[in-house]
Amino acid sequence: MSPTDFIMPYFVLEGAKEPKEIASLEGVSQHSLSSLIKDVRECYESGIKAVIIFGIPANKDLMGSGAYARDGVVQTAAREIRDHFGDDIVVFADLCLDEYTDHGHCGLIDQSGRVDNDSTLELYQKIAISQAEAGVHFVAPSGMMDGQVKAIRSALDESGFDEVGVLAYAVKYASGLYGPFRDAVNVQIVGGGDRKGYQQDFRNSRESLREVRLDVSEGADMVMVKPAVTYLDVIAQVRELVEIPVCAYHVSGEYAMIKAASNLGWIDGDAVALEQMYAIKRAGADVIISYFAKEIVSSL
């Protein structure tokens, strides 16, 4: 395992002057633009060469318009990173609506409150183009709408961004492990709802292979499995199935559990984090998104 196996996730808060700690994600902050650049530089110096950006907009609305604004928070952050680091750091942008909608769903909702797959795809295309214009190397659609990779790929190609890649969240389970992330991006799903209509059922593993095959056929350049440690079997199966890189997302809940138990003195957090990263690697992941990335590379 080496530092280049990792993608470091970053949260950027629109308009922030100072970074803000996230209570449930110890050591992780909602960044201002200047604290972001400072942290990305440390990351780069530690040998990590890739980051993924999540935005927290100043305002949320029904359509999630902050997600595709030219001067949106992710677009601005991406431009800033590209200005400072050029092509030395690979910039991925999470492509989704949930951080930007006032109802907290990953897609547009119709009058009955159901997420409407196909009208959401049109917005995903707009987000992709605005992120590509801002200079991201990869877009990473995480909303789990059917046909999202194809829609995004064709929109990018038609706008002259054929060199911008797609990291597809191909396998994403409706997991209880995303709790701290939702604190990090200030998302609450309206009416105590969930994402079981578009994320996967953890009782089903074969569906994952179908999702991966579809995303590859739609033009994905890399596929992701998420969460990681709870789905090592799936990572291993996906590794067998595809030739393109497989990415695993060690998610917020996986990170927070280790930090919490470690703070109580019940486990050695550094040792467990390293053990889990190797487990993910052993299962077949080429790349790992982890909140541990920056702190773990010093022990490799």
Question: Which CB atom, from 80 or from 94, has the smaller least distance to ligand PBG?
Answer: 94
Is 172 a known active-site residue? yes
List residues near ligand PBG by CB under 6 A: 94, 96, 98, 106, 142, 178, 181-182, 195, 251-252
- How does strand 20-21 pair with strand 29-31? antiparallel
Least distance to ligand PBG from the beta carbon of 285, Å? 15
Q: In this structure, what token pair is assigned to residue 41? A: 């530089």
Q: Please spell the DSSP secondary structure of 259-288, one letter per residue.
A: HHHHHTTSS-HHHHHHHHHHHHHHHT-SEE
> Annotated catalytic residue: which of 49, 60, 172, 259?
172
Question: Which CB atom, from 161 or from 249, has the smaller least distance to ligand PBG?
Answer: 249
CB 8 within 8 A of CB 28: no
Q: In terms of Cα–Cα distance, which of 227, 142, 143 is closest to 177?
A: 227
Least distance to ligand PBG from the beta carbon of 181, Å? 3
Least distance to ligand PBG from the beta carbon of 27, Å? 14
CB 204 within 8 A of CB 157: no
Least distance to ligand PBG from the beta carbon of 61, Å? 16
Least distance to ligand PBG from the beta carbon of 86, Å? 27
Backbone φ and ψ of 264, nearest 5°:
-80, -5
Residue 11 burial (C-beta neighbours within 10 Å; 0-12, 13-18, 19+)? buried
CB 49 within 8 A of CB 2: no
- Cα–Cα dist 28/184, whole Å: 9
- Cα–Cα dist 138/109, whole Å: 27
Is 226 a known active-site residue? yes
Question: Which CB atom, from 16 or from 184, has the smaller least distance to ligand PBG?
Answer: 184
- How does strand 20-21 pair with strand 90-95? unpaired
Q: In terms of Cα–Cα distance, which of 102, 105, 124, 123 is closest to 114?
A: 105
> Annotated catalytic residue: which of 20, 38, 60, 226?
226
Question: Which CB atom, from 85 or from 261, has the smaller least distance to ligand PBG?
Answer: 261
Question: Which CB atom, from 30 or from 142, has the smaller least distance to ligand PBG?
Answer: 142
Q: Helices (H) and strands (E) in the chain — how many of each?
A: 10, 10
CB 107 within 8 A of CB 145: yes
Least distance to ligand PBG from the beta carbon of 299, Å? 21
Question: Which CB atom, from 46 or from 142, has the smaller least distance to ligand PBG?
Answer: 142
| Residues recognised as catalytic | 172, 226
